[in-house]
């Protein structure tokens, strides 16, 4: 599994390492922010505060992606990591002072600015410093690191967030400083920035010029739509799928040989599905990375889409632990196949001169997926399980077909999309 890792470009290895570290310590604090805000200010205010963070990160990400095309990836990444050190330092001061709500919210917005600068530039760097043959493996390793980071970071946050917040924030500040040092000292920027005399001012006009080309790339926009449809299924887990579990499984029991009957309610069903998914991703990435190396990523992307959709559609209908585990296995195998394959296909589709801007727009798949899943939750009383399963099957079919057609880029079905 790790032998090909050392054949990757040094900057890629550093970026994958810092992404893993960021995931560990981000997972230790960010998921618990909603609990803190809800406890201090109520659920509605907490939702608005988290939404503000998402909006700030996306807007800054658009700027950061475009500027990294002009100035180079490393410079913008260093800016972003510096801002993140400041953000965690502010959180540490808030934790030490005991005044949590608004100082930590302000620090969270600063952190969103740092992520918005660093993330699109870092994603573009992975493409700059890799070859098409490496990318399926590279993205599989990146995905494995993110899931392993979640597995490590969540228990750290659970142990420290409530009673030892200042210790946790101190660890985060120190690790952010280490990540900044690694980025500054070890990253080699292989992207050639636009010469100063040719780029003009780095204001809204430069940003608009970068995104004008992205907006005119219809194949890329179709591919982005495909990702939105598939990611809607992912976010169903925390929206209408969770509600389905809560309503249909409350009061049910399951029999385990040698044990007393066990309650199997919605919360336990959701926890079982999430735990299985994380475990299979962490354990299965090595095999998947080897399998995908030097294979056609388009074929396995679509195969993953179909398995992923079949798993989530099945989870909407089943009601026992065994059947839920089978549905979860389909979800996990599909995810293992489609995530690195889609990233590899995307990397090969975009304009090398505007990779930062393209990767910033690609982040829309996550925000739009969350939005469409929230709409599904609102339609739950009208459609019920059967209706939403039908919607999920349609989204799976459309997302798979559009993704296949758009990634063809020319001729065949892609030509249909361009007409």
Same fold, 4-210 and 218-418: yes
d(CA 15, CA 12): 5
d(CA 94, CA 369): 33
Tokens of 412: 């065949």
- Confidence at residue 85, expressed as pLDDT on a 0 to 100 scale: 97
Are 285 and 138 a contacting pair, CB within 8 Å? Answer: no
pLDDT, tens digit only, all 419 positions of the chain: 567 888 899 999 999 999 999 999 888 887 778 777 877 887 667 777 877 888 888 889 888 898 898 889 999 999 999 999 999 999 999 999 887 789 999 999 999 999 999 999 999 999 999 988 888 889 989 989 988 888 888 888 878 887 888 999 999 999 999 999 999 999 998 888 777 665 556 666 656 766 787 888 999 999 999 999 999 998 887 677 777 777 777 555 554 444 445 566 666 777 788 888 888 998 998 889 888 888 889 999 999 999 999 999 999 888 788 888 999 999 999 999 999 999 999 988 888 888 888 888 888 788 788 778 877 877 877 888 889 899 999 999 999 999 999 998 633 334 434 44
Strands (E), 250-357: 253-254, 262-263
How far, in whole angstroms, is CA 353 from its chain's centroid? 24
Q: Which of 151, 126, 61 is nearest to 343 (CA)?
A: 126
- Alpha-helical segments (H) within 217-262: 218-236, 240-249
What secondary structure does DSSP assign to 107-168, as a single string?
Answer: HHHHHHHHHHHHHHHHHHHHHHT--HHHHHHHHHHHHHHHHHHHHHHHHHHHHHTTT-HHHH
d(CA 143, CA 133): 17
**In this structure, what are the phi and psi dihedrals at residue 250, rounded to the nearest 5 degrees?**
-60, 130
- Confidence at residue 260, expressed as pLDDT on a 0 to 100 scale: 46
CATH architecture under which domain 218-418 falls = Up-down Bundle (1.20)
Are 302 and 400 a contacting pair, CB within 8 Å? Answer: yes
**In this structure, what are the phi and psi dihedrals at residue 200, rounded to the nearest 5 degrees?**
70, -170
Tokens of 195: 């010469």
Q: Record the pTM.
A: 0.81
Are 117 and 57 a contacting pair, CB within 8 Å? Answer: no
Q: Tell me the domain boundaries of the chain.
A: 4-210, 218-418
Query: Right CATH number for 4-210 from 1.20.1250.20, 3.60.10.10, 2.60.40.10, 3.40.50.2300?
Result: 1.20.1250.20
Q: Describe the chain by its helix, strand, coil percentages, rounded to 5.
A: 85, 0, 15
- Confidence at residue 329, expressed as pLDDT on a 0 to 100 scale: 95
């Amino acid at each position: 599994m790790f032998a090909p890792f050392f054949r990757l470009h040094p900057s890629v290895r550093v970026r994958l390492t810092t992404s893993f570290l960021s995931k560990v310590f981000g997972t230790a604090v960010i998921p618990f922010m909603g609990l803190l805000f809800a406890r201090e200010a109520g659920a509605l205010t907490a939702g608005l505060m988290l939404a503000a963070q998402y909006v700030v990160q996306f807007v800054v990400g658009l700027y950061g992606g475009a500027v990294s095309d002009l100035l180079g990836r490393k410079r913008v990444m260093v800016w972003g990591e510096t801002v993140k050190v400041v953000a965690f330092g502010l959180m540490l001061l808030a934790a030490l002072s005991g005044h949590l709500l608004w100082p930590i919210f302000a620090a969270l917005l600063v952190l969103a600015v740092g992520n918005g600068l660093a993330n699109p530039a870092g994603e573009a760097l992975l493409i700059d410093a890799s070859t098409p043959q490496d990318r399926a493996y590279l993205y599989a390793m990146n995905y494995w690191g993110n899931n392993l980071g979640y597995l490590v970071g969540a228990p750290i946050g659970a142990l420290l967030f409530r009673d030892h917040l200042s210790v946790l924030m101190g660890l985060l500040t120190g690790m952010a400083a280490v990540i900044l040092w690694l980025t500054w000292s070890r990253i080699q920027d292989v992207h050639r920035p636009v010469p100063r005399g040719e780029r003009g001012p780095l204001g809204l006009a430069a940003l608009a010029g970068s995104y004008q080309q992205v907006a005119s790339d219809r194949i890329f926009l179709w591919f982005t739509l495909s990702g939105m449809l598939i990611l809607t299924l992912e976010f169903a887990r925390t929206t209408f799928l969770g509600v389905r579990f809560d309503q249909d499984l409350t009061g049910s029991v399951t029999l385990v040989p040698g044990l007393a009957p066990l309650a199997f309610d919605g919360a336990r069903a959701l926890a079982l599905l999430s735990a299985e998914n994380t475990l299979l991703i962490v354990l299965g990435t090595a095999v998947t990375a080897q399998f995908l190396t030097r294979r056609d990523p388009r074929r396995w992307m679509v195969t993953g889409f179909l398995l992923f959709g079949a798993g989530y559609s099945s989870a909407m209908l089943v009601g026992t632990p065994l059947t839920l585990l089978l549905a979860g296995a389909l979800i996990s195998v599909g995810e293992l196949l489609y995530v690195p394959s889609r990233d590899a296909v995307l990397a090969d589709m975009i304009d090398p001169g505007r990779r930062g801007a393209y990767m910033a727009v690609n982040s829309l798949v996550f925000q739009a997926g969350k939005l469409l899943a929230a709409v599904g939750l609102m339609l739950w009383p009208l459609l019920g399980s059967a209706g939403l399963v039908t919607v999920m099957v349609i989204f799976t079919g459309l997302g798979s077909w559009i993704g296949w057609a758009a990634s063809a880029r020319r001729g065949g079905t892609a030509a249909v999309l361009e007409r």
